[in-house]
């Protein structure tokens, strides 16, 4: 009976082969993950401090995207993607610096002013009276009066004179309570 002597490489592979394969596999996996994840640049955001659209206002109807609220004027249940507020002083102010995108009117919403702000924010003020104090393309400052709250919105006529305030971020309605200090008017 003849015993063959194994080569050094074969002997080494038998002894450490599984460990070597595990190391190679781990290294390949780590490189694959590292190269597959895109590099991200740090994001800087400015802290915007919004003002209030009305002084000493009372919230008549709050924002609600998760429950239905009764719209007494239309006699139907609906979500309410705005905050309705009223005040003895019916003056309405821009919540932040921006540019007036549009000034419109229709029978359901009354007079409407839309203002583009920085960081993708847009504020929409409706149920304004016909004495709107800005026009399309105007630059406005935070706290500048843009009009007066009224009862021109027939779709909420039973709520009386009020401001129907919508805040949007990147084209989507957001809860103004998350950005404005509406509880401490």
CATH of the domain at 133: 2.70.70.10
Q: Is residue 45 part of a domain?
A: no
**Looking at the predicted structure, is the pLDDT value of residue 8 above 50?**
yes
Handedness of CA 148, 153, 159, 164 (dihedral sign): negative
pLDDT of residue 22: 58
Q: Is residue 109 part of a domain?
A: yes
Interatomic CA distance for residues 74 and 20, integer angstroms: 74
Q: Is residue 96 part of a domain?
A: yes
Q: Is residue 12 part of a domain?
A: no
Instruction: Provide the strand spans (E) within 18-120.
Output: 58-61, 64-71, 76-80, 83-86, 91-93, 98-106, 110-116
**Looking at the predicted structure, is the pLDDT value of residue 118 above 80?**
yes
Q: Look at the chain and report how many structural domains it folds into.
A: 1
Confidence of residue 90 (pLDDT cuts 50, 70, 90): very high
Q: Is residue 66 part of a domain?
A: yes
Percent of the chain at pLDDT exceeding 90: 55
pLDDT of residue 31: 52
Answer yes or no: pTM beyond 0.85.
Answer: no
Candidate ranges 44-58, 72-86, 99-113, 149-163; pick with highest mean pLDDT: 99-113
Closest CA to 96 of 169, 8, 34, 157: 169
Confidence of residue 156 (pLDDT cuts 50, 70, 90): confident
Q: Which domain holds residue 160?
A: 58-184
pLDDT of residue 131: 95
Q: Is residue 48 part of a domain?
A: no
Contact 77, 46 (CB under 8 A): no
Q: Is residue 135 part of a domain?
A: yes
Angle ∠(43,44,49) on CA atoms, nearest 5 = 135
**Looking at the predicted structure, is the pLDDT value of residue 43 above 60?**
no
Q: Is residue 22 part of a domain?
A: no
Higher-pLDDT residue of 8, 77: 77
């Amino acid at each position: 009976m003849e015993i063959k002597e194994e080569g050094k490489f074969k002997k080494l592979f038998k002894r450490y082969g599984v460990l070597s394969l595990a190391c190679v596999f781990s290294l390949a996996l780590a490189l694959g993950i590292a190269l597959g994840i895109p590099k991200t640049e740090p994001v800087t955001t400015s802290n915007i401090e919004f003002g209030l659209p009305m002084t000493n206002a009372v919230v008549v109807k709050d924002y609600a995207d998760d429950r239905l609220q009764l719209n007494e004027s239309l006699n139907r249940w609906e979500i309410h993607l705005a905050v309705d507020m009223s005040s003895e002083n019916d003056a309405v102010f821009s919540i932040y610096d921006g540019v007036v995108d549009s000034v419109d009117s229709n029978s359901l919403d009354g007079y409407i002013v839309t203002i583009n702000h920085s960081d993708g924010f847009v504020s929409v003020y409706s149920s304004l009276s016909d004495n709107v104090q800005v026009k399309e393309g105007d630059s406005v400052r935070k706290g500048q009066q843009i009009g007066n709250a009224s009862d021109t919105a027939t779709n909420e006529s039973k709520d009386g004179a009020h401001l129907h305030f919508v805040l949007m971020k990147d084209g989507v309605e957001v809860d103004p309570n998350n950005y404005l200090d509406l509880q401490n008017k």
